[in-house]
Amino acid sequence: MKAVSAALIRLTLIALPLATPVKAETNDAAKLRVDAAALFMPIATPVAPQDSVSVQRLELGRRLFFENRVSMDGNISCAFCHLPDKQASDGLPKSIGVFGKENPRNAPSVFNAALNFKQHWRGDRESLEEQAEKALLGPASFGNPDAATAMGKLKAIPAYAAAFKNAFPDEAEPINSKNWGRAIAAYERTLLTPSKFDAFLSGDTAALTSKEQAGLRQFIDLGCVGCHNGAGVGGGSFQKFGVQSDYWKETGVAVPDKGRADVTKNDADLYVFKVAGLRNAAQTAPYFHDGSVADLNKAVRIMAKTQLGETLSDADVAALVAFLGALTGKVPANYAAPDPYPDAQERK
């Protein structure tokens, strides 16, 4: 009996270590999900509108987003700087607008822009509507001298008369710059890209690999979540770029951008920018407001040093980059140009 009991004890001791790591890993993932759910919010694919006016407005917004005939050179549309193969960014340090003019800052992805609390790097656009409307007059975007010029171009395309009337049926003169902004904003609010991270937040702890989970834990524990939180994993606040050290010394730019200080004329806003939303960040290089860094690994190191005063190991960087990769979603099915309305001279 003693021999049998000793054998059973040995078998039990051998068996226990085989089960324990699996249970611990499961518990770690569940704890990580709980911690993450307190800091982030999942996004879901938008529900298609059912009423006729909303459907018409959404379709009009999609047309206008891809419409280049409103620009002064006939080449620039909203989509010009937001390419589907680059997750609705353009891959350039600074975007190119009308007549080849360079914009002062990098064009962030328009995907998930609806999650931002303000628009533009300096937050000088309060809403998607305002951003779309003012782009009509931007000297390095559409380049129109005034809204009337831009709307005149739309009115010269016959089919837009009915399209605007269907989208804004209560207005006598619906083709105006306000409605341009309203229609495009309605379309942009559908451009959400849920990813496997959202599945993880919603309860599927197996949605993220062990490396992605390690990166998420690092992201939380390092303090990245102090700014990069919420549904957009950022985009919900302003922050100085260079809390711990001057950002331009790390990025290598010769002349630093003053950020919001140029908008507010307040020295307290020097080098302050809207916190970037990190959805699709792995696919939207180059990085930062000036597009000065092309490599995501380097961008992660710079953020850790300038914002947190941390010098990361190669393993830490690899884990964080893996987590950022888990924020990449699918290009929305409706992110495609419709057949353009014919010009007036093509009308039969």
Q: Supply 92's token pair.
A: 């350039």
Degrees to nearest 5, angle at CA 212 with 207 and 216? 105
Beta-carbon contacts of residue 295 (< 8 Å; ≥ 6 apart): 285
pLDDT along the chain (348 residues), means of 10: 37 37 65 98 88 97 98 97 97 96 97 98 98 96 98 98 98 98 98 98 97 98 98 98 98 97 97 98 98 98 98 98 98 96 71
Domains recognised in the chain with CATH numbers: 29-46+195-325 (1.10.760.10), 52-192+332-343 (1.10.760.10)
Identify the pLDDT of residue 14: 33
Torsion of CA 224, 226, 230, 232, to 10 degrees: -50
Identify the pLDDT of residue 21: 43
Identify the pLDDT of residue 12: 36
Identify the pLDDT of residue 44: 84
CA distances from 303 to 223, 295, 309 (A): 11, 12, 9
| Region of residue 116 (phi > 0: left; psi between -120 and 50: alpha; otherwise: beta) | beta
Identify the pLDDT of residue 1: 36
Using the structure block, give the residue that is written with the tokens 């909303």: 54
CA distances from 312 to 197, 239, 340 (A): 23, 21, 50
Identify the pLDDT of residue 25: 52
CB of 136 closer than 8 Å to CB of 142: yes
Identify the pLDDT of residue 47: 84
Q: Supply 168's token pair.
A: 């804004």
CA distances from 12 to 17, 20, 23, 49 (A): 9, 12, 17, 60
Q: Model-level pTM?
A: 0.91
Identify the pLDDT of residue 345: 63
Identify the pLDDT of residue 335: 98
- Intra-chain end-to-end CA distance of the chain, in Å: 102
Q: Supply 264's token pair.
A: 């507010």
Identify the pLDDT of residue 46: 81
